[in-house]
Every structure is written in structure tokens, then in C-alpha cells.
Amino acid sequence: MTKIWRETGFVENDPWVIETDDVKATETEKPLLGLDALIAKAEESNEAGLGVVIKPADDVSRLQPYLDRLDIVAVAFPAFSDGRSFSHASLLRQRLGYTSELRAVGDVLIDQIPLMLRVGIDSFAVTNETALKRLSENRLPGIPHYYQPTARTAEGGQTYSWRRLPAKSA
């Protein structure tokens, strides 16, 4: 079972559905299209309120002309060891200026959620039982140190890693 989680808690009645050959959005749901399908639909109409799923091998920069028409971009994490979607999220937020919903889908694990939040992902399609349990208990792991600036600053307002702070004099 997939549940959608945001920092405010679990979301009820989320309308977005990843369309496949076997799964199609109903009248009350909205499709999350693949990149090529989204571009084709955007080129043939002026429709807004669209959604897209970006896979790790996709070129996220192809979305740039359509970002103002998107309500959601879902970045796919097909395996915990594939981090390319972290880069996609960072590019969308920092370079392309995307401000609407950015969702992680696929293999979303509890230990990765704080890192996903740091790169600008703000909603999560969670199926992992351990992650669902920990999120329902509001037990999100923290990140005490980090090495790079991101779309979201760390607690305490520092924008760079503890390693980049000036050395204290002895």
C-alpha cells in the first residue's frame, strides 16, 4: 500500500496516479505522465495542472519550457542505491526554479527522507513498512553534519558544512 507523506503528516485522497499500460487515472484522479508523454501533451494543448514522473536516466532540463504548467514533478527512485533523482530534484529547485510540488516515488526509505527534504523534495510516496511506521510515529532521522549547500538550509541556519566553518583559534 502506498501512502503520501509530507512534513505535516500523511495526505488523504491524493489525486495523482503514475500511469502505466495497466494503470490509468480515473475521472477523479490525475495522471503522472512519463517525460515524453508529458511533452507531447504539452505541445498539443495549453493545458495546465499537469504532472510528470522523471526517471533517473531522463534529462530533467527538457522540462524547463513546461515548468509553469506543472502542479507536480515526481522523481523516481527505482532502487535505494540509485541517487540520480537527488540530482534531478536539486536541478529542478536550484537551477530551473521549480516551486510546485516535488515528490519522491519508488524505493523511498526512512534514512533517505531527510536527505530528500534537503534537496527540495516535499512529498513522498511511501510503501516501505518500516518507513510508514516511523513516519506515523513522527520518528524521522536527523542529519547532524552535511557537506554541501542545498535547496533547504540545515537547522540553525548554516548554509555550509561544519567542515567549511573557519577554524577556531586555540
CB 69 within 8 A of CB 44: no
Q: Is residue 139 part of a domain?
A: yes
Q: What is the tally of helices (H) and strands (E) in the chain?
A: 4, 8
Q: Is residue 15 part of a domain?
A: yes
Mean predicted confidence (pLDDT) in 60-82: 95
Domain encompassing residue 31: 3-144
How many other CB atoms are there within 10 angstroms of residue 45's CB atom? Answer: 10
**Cα–Cα distance between 63 and 54 in angstroms, integer?**
9
Per residue in 133-170, pLDDT (tens digit) is 999 998 887 765 555 555 555 555 554 444 444 555 55
Average pLDDT of the chain is: 87
Domain count, the chain: 1
> 131-140: long-range contacts (C-beta < 8 A, 24 or more apart)?
132/3, 134/110, 135/5, 135/10, 135/110, 136/10, 140/110, 140/113, 140/114
Predicted pLDDT at 148: 55
Predicted pLDDT at 81: 87
pTM of the model: 0.83
Q: Is residue 81 part of a domain?
A: yes
Q: How confident is the model at residue 104 (pLDDT cuts 50, 70, 90)?
A: very high
Q: Is residue 100 part of a domain?
A: yes
Domain of 26: which CATH number?
3.40.50
Predicted pLDDT at 163: 45
How many other CB atoms are there within 10 angstroms of residue 95's CB atom? Answer: 11
Coil, strand or helix at 84: helix
Output the nine-digit C-alpha cell for 21.
499500460
Predicted pLDDT at 153: 56
Output the nine-digit C-alpha cell for 16.
495523482
Q: Is residue 163 part of a domain?
A: no
Distances (CA, A) of 153 to 24, 51, 119, 156, 158: 38, 27, 9, 8, 7
Sequential DSSP letters for 15-75 = -EEE--SS----TTSEEEEEHHHHHHHHHH----SEEEEE-TTS-GGGGGGGGGGEEEEEE
Q: Is residue 63 part of a domain?
A: yes
Q: Is residue 164 part of a domain?
A: no
**Cα–Cα distance between 47 and 41 in angstroms, integer?**
8
